Amino acid sequence: MNVEDVLCSKTRLKILKVLLSSKPLNVTQIAKQVGVNYAKALEHLKILENEGILTHTMFGKRIHLYKFNELSFKAKAIRNLIEAFATS
């Protein structure tokens, strides 16, 4: 997937902003903060995870906590981009 496909979605950008400014969150928390339903949030989270931008950890069988992948060059670049726009 290219950068246009990853960043062209307002929902994905909102998810990235939410996760940038918080501790790891579960899908329900992310969906609520972004204003989408659970299924739509999960769809976008999977795209971001497949690109290596996000990671998730499991608690039990059903709770997935998502956060920025601090080891990913893409995640670091997106973090810098969002922070640059937030300070301008």
Find the CATH number of the domain harbouring 13: 1.10.10.10
pLDDT of 32? 98
* pLDDT score for 7: 85
CA dist 41 and 19 (Å) reads 13
Looking at the structure of the chain, the number of domains it has is 1
pLDDT for position 22:
86
Give the count of beta carbons closer than 10 Å to the beta carbon of residue 67.
Answer: 16
Q: Which domain holds residue 21?
A: 3-87
- What digits encode the pLDDT tens for the residues 20-74? 988 999 999 999 999 999 999 999 999 999 999 999 999 888 899 999 999 999 9
Q: Given a cut of 70, is residue 88 above it in pLDDT? A: no
Q: How confident is the model at residue 79 (pLDDT cuts 50, 70, 90)?
A: very high
Structural tokens at position 3: 């950068």
Count other C-beta atoms under 10 Å from residue 28's C-beta: 13
Contact at 8 Å (CB) between 54 and 67? yes
Burial label for 34, CB within 10 Å (0-12, 13-18, 19+), is buried
